[in-house]
Amino acid sequence: MSRWLAMVLPLALAACSLGNAATPQPVETPVRAMRIVSLDYCADQYVLKLVGRDRILALSPDATRDFSYMRAAAKGMPKVAPRAEDVLVLKPDLVVRSYGGGADAGAFFARAGVPVLQLGYAEDLTGVRRVLLETADGLGERAKGEQVAREMDRRIAMLARAKVAGAHEGAPSLLYATPGGVTSGPGSLIHELIELAGYRNFQQQPGWQPLPLERLAYEKPDRVAMAWFGRRDYNPDQWSAARHPLMRTASAHPAIGLEGAWTACGGWFVLDAAEAMARARGAKLP
């Protein structure tokens, strides 16, 4: 789910050489860490949601970017580049990461005696809920995690009821598009959100795929949802398939604008996208 964005972010810690030394055992996470550093914007979301500002030493450089869901909460907070020397000088008692620092970051910090809380990967809403509670446990905030999980359950139930209420009309088709010119089919979190919102996914090939421009020449979805990062008027790169004339005429209805931050990481906030799509279908949600 929009994880392609992470591939373009410069992560200098990955370049740190660990030589041929054996991988150390992970350092035990403190029961309630008080000096937390987050290494990437996916980790930032969980830290900002679950932990008080007084326990956060630093966030990633992307914490206040448009694609960061909790960017408002991150304003004014210290940031640190995901480089070993920059992080270690802060003397954290916990490092939280999804991808930040590169593949060897966990082993590096373990060797330095710093515990690392590695966020899991969520392929569906059940996985999002699991990662949320696991992360809350690792941060010593189980009660907050359960509170957010209950709110997720409530929102999912409301979307499911709205979906059933509109079932007699038949599910309209929807094409999801990213600025990079790709879409998502069965087997992804995006696909689950599309169906939860009461649509049929126009894209039926599994996983992430290029936008089906050839198919759009003779077949149109009922709606198009555009995940533009931070701005609804975002203009994709001129070489992106998202700019193709067939995309501008893909649906007789206006495009459904989705904030890219809603789907840039797998978190509780992906439900914002499902609710926006459901409302565009006419669902009555608070």
- The answer to whether the Cα torsion of 40, 13, 127, 143 is positive or negative is negative
Q: Identify the residue whose tokens are 């966020």.
A: 119
The reported pLDDT for the residue numbered 17 is 33
Given this model, what pLDDT does residue 167 score? 67
**DSSP bridge pairs for 271:** none
Q: What is the pLDDT of residue 81?
A: 95
**pLDDT means per 10 residues in the chain (286 residues)?**
39 33 54 91 97 97 95 97 94 95 87 93 95 97 98 97 78 91 94 96 93 90 83 56 73 88 94 96 87
* Residue 5 pLDDT: 38
What domains are defined for the chain? 3-119 (3.40.50.1980), 155-280 (3.40.50.1980)
Residue among 130, 116, 41 at smallest CA distance from 80: 41
* 51: amino acid identity, one letter: V
Q: What's the rounded Cα separation, in Å, for the pair 171 and 194?
A: 11
CA atoms of 95 and 105, how far apart (whole Å) = 10
Q: What's residue 12's pLDDT?
A: 33
Q: Mapping DSSP to helix (H, G, I), strand (E, B) and coil, where does residue 228 land?
A: strand
